């Protein structure tokens, strides 16, 4: 049976920044017939639930991993270290459990796949991946966003 990493909030765990879960029909469908390993990189990186909303400033998840961009919350607190730590913990769990892919929360600064918020906190989207999605892709995982 194929094993996938699944954003914990998509499996019903109330771990999003706002303290809620984000269940998704796409995630349920994508995980059907597979072993899903729920994981929240933001809480694994040391952030509390609930927490201030955060966005990537100056790039995307690849830029954060390469030190060219930062993750900052809406009050200006730099949370880059927590996001990077959470991404590395997600990769470690994925490797340890044999995950071949991941279904992650859309638009998140951690889990966003293909589009993320632009860092303005105005709801504007830009192309790019979140920090965890970027790291998993770098290691050959098939990563998809659940809307």
Q: Encoding tokens for residue 124?
A: 């504007």
Q: Parse the chain into domains and list their residue ranges.
A: 3-146
At residue 28, the pLDDT reads: 75
Over range 113-133, report the average pLDDT. 97
At residue 30, the pLDDT reads: 74
At residue 31, the pLDDT reads: 75
Alpha-carbon 49 to chain mean position: 15
Compute how many other C-beta atoms are within 10 angstroms of the C-beta atom of residue 66. Answer: 10
pLDDT at position 129 over 80: yes
Distance, in Å, from the CA atom of 5 to the CA atom of 26, rounded to the nearest integer, reads: 14
Spell out the long-range contacts of 70-78 with Cβ–Cβ below 8 A and sequence spacing 24 or more.
71/109, 71/131, 72/119, 74/121, 77/52
At residue 72, the pLDDT reads: 98
């Amino acid at each position: 049976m194929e094993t996938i990493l699944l954003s914990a909030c998509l499996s019903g765990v109330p771990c999003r920044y706002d303290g809620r879960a984000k269940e998704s029909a796409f995630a349920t469908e994508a995980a059907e017939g597979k072993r899903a390993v729920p994981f929240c990189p933001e809480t694994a990186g040391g952030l509390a639930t609930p927490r201030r909303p955060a966005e990537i400033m100056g790039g995307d998840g690849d830029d954060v991993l390469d030190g060219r961009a930062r993750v900052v919350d809406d009050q200006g607190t730099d949370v880059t270290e927590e996001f990077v730590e959470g991404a590395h913990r997600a990769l470690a769990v994925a490797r340890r459990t044999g995950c071949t892919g991941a279904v992650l929360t859309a638009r998140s600064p951690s889990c966003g796949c293909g589009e993320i918020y632009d860092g303005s906190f105005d709801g504007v989207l830009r192309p790019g991946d979140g920090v965890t999605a970027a790291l998993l892709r770098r290691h050959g995982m098939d990563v998809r966003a659940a809307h």
